[in-house]
Amino acid sequence: MAPRIHQPEPDPEPIKEVLARLFVSRGWGRRQGRLHLERAWSDAVGPEYDRHTRVLGLKRGIFEVEVDSAVLVQELKGYHKRRLLEALRAKLSSESIKELRFKVGKF
């Protein structure tokens, strides 16, 4: 019989790596990220406009929002865009937000 060679147990895996894999496999990271964007938008825009808008997402630095009326899109673009963009950048400092875009839609 051949001698048995003792192989040490592998080092324990850090919990943050285990949790990261779990979040990715369950899709929780995307949902949490989306909720984070929606909260930041809601805080920035306020209750008056929040119910008329919906966050579509953040891709390549472009924060896109769907708005339920063309008139409101014009108001947000013309009078509030700069303030909203600054508020989003402050609330989402870990993200690189270059542009804020509005789109008319029904939701």
DSSP string across 24-81: HHHTHHHHHHHHHHHHHHHHHH-HHHHTTEEEEEEETTEEEEEES-HHHHHHIIIIIH
Quickly state the pLDDT bin for 46 (edges 50, 70, 90): very high
CATH architecture, range 16-104: 2-Layer Sandwich (3.30)
Are the C-beta atoms of residues 45 and 84 closer than 8 Å to each other? yes
Look at residue 16 in the predicted model and tell me its pLDDT: 77
Q: Which of 53, 42, 107, 57 is nearest to 76 (CA)?
A: 53
For range 24-51, the mean pLDDT = 85
Per-residue confidence (pLDDT) for residue 50, from 0 to 100: 96
The tokens describing 44, both together, are 């920035």
Q: What is the rounded (10 degree) CA torsion for 16, 38, 77, 95?
A: -10
Q: Quick check: helix, strand or coil at residue 96?
A: coil
pLDDT for the residue numbered 34:
85
Does pLDDT of 22 surpass 90?
no
Residue 89's alpha-carbon distances to 7, 38, 64, 68, in angstroms, are 52, 13, 14, 24
